[in-house]
Structure 1
Amino acid sequence: MLPVLVVHGGAGHIPKERAELSCGGVMEAVRGGYSILRAGGSAMDAVVEAVTLLEDNPAYNAGRGSVLNVKGEVEMDALVMDGRTLGSGAVSAVRRVKNPVQLARLVMEKTNHLCLTAEGASQFARAMGMEEVPEESLITDYARMRWRKNLAPGANPVECQMGKMGTVGAVAVDVEGNIACATSTGGMLNQMAGRVGDTPCVGCGGYADNKVGAVSPTGHGEAIMKVTLSRLILFHMEQGKSAEEASDLALAYMRERVGGLGGVVVVDPQGNWAARFSSLQMAWAAARQGQLHYGLYTGEHFTEPLEKPSQ
């Protein structure tokens, strides 16, 4: 049954011309992270590797490819959580960091704090020897085009959000039964400078507990925070609901109570997993027992061998 890794590439609407990019990226991230689990590596190593690969992929709203704030700048958030110890680390509104998820892990492992923000997080990154990259290296032509479009007089914010390749995340359980989650995002398109969403908030942008499971969400951050989505799902699992049932209950509650749409990937200590969403689409992929599972639309579930055939 173990190990298991599940990742998502963001919930929302993905144009047909970018669907292949979105699906391909999460599949490659799963393969990269699962190779660590299969070699006996930890759940934390696996989720950080998977999310790092997604941050490095310009198709997603995290790391390289992040959306721009109203000032045309990149501000990123990330979180990791270790289900064995309940240790967590997060960063918010960080700039010029290539892989915020790796910085979040350093916050967990090297400080007594749970979250560092803005310039303080950048100073910590430099102290830890993390390379500072030019902001331009994180900005894609696609992100800049959408930023400019949203600034135009009379722009429709809903239309400008279309094509969002969103927040990325991963959950895993390793061969020893330890659980971890990681989530990373560039935030909301044309957000106010300094805006922080759900991602770096424990219980909202992620949660992991060896006794129950792990969650990494995506969607409208303010809605996720209002219902503490990740912890709400684990609450339902504590009451005996499966990962899939708990996800559907919590997503339905968020939609009914605060009008929020989103998606989640979830895993429990036995390796049962779920990828569920209330939005139109969510790119997701999972690896378990030599099989690669993936999908993009509601009800869509493809399976193929995890190993690519030899050329």
Structure 2
Amino acid sequence: MNLKRFGYTACVLTPLLLAACGGGNSGSEGASGEGEYSNYPEQDISGVIQWGEGGATDNISRTVAPLVEDELGGSLVMENREGASGATGAQYVYDQPADGYTLLFGAENPNLYQVLGISERDYLKDFKPVSIIGQSYAGIVVNADSEYDSLEDLINYSSENPGELTMGTSGEGGLPHVASSMLQAELDTEFNQVPYNGDGPLATALLGDEIDATVLAVSAAQEYVESGDFKMLAVINDESLDAVPEAPPITEPYPEFEKYLPWGPFQGVFAHKDTPEPIMDKLTTSFEDAQENEEFQETLDNLGVEPMNIHGEEAIEFLEQNQSTSTWMLHDTGETETSPEEFDIPRVEEE
């Protein structure tokens, strides 16, 4: 710092040196632009998980956080801010200074907020993707003591007794809500939907027989299936998964779902849209390197999550594809009055 002041004084007092300093201004400013953020992070970073404890997003976020700390050279303090289908946490992060010290650990829900009228926030307009960690698959689950042993059993009863079965959801735009809309559109079912704050509370509700069924990310349901607490009647995919080989793909009894697939939840990390690029670069590099950890890769594999570890333009393209698929699927099944077109969201085939 003293050398800088000396250089500045010399430039002011000596015309010759002033010319020399002027000749180096462009390079100096570039260096100082980088240097301004060279010590980042200089304080704890807040990691805001938009769902409650115990769900897929919470589990994956808390697993990767200490690995990122090692790469970043700083502390990530994780907290859950659930509510309003994850919009509470998303809005909180958006309202904080765009300085890289508040990150959103989220799932797919903000891609649907606008068409559902939940929130103005949107991944593509309000945030920058630090990393899309992985994409997982959804499973339709019931309590192990349930009388329903197959998806056909559940669907047949629901069709014959509309509104009688309780389907736990994580609110509008959540995974169970979208999946239930798919079932309703294709199979003429009708569930009594009851909202909870994320996968963890949903699992607790199913354990306590508060609900008859729900749809969970395979990563959140797997431990309950393995322990014998839950039965997974089907995975919403066109082929079975190694993580839950006993669960048939939904296309096996109902091939009409093939047109929606591949589709499923994802987990990612996001920063405010105005976060400076040098900070974004450091964050993306740290998250990218952290996810190469072999134990973390094994964790994702065991949870039935397909590792992605993408950022930048690749992550943006993925978000656009996911948003198009999900919003138009909801609109076509009558779940949204507002067309995705009003938000300039094209159909997938029109991209």
TM-score interval, normalised by the smaller of the two chains: under 0.3
* Between structures 1 and 2, the one with greater strand share: 1
TM-score, normalised to structure 2's length?
0.23
Q: Which has the higher helix share?
A: 2
- When normalised by structure 1's length, the TM-score is 0.25
Larger radius of gyration: 2
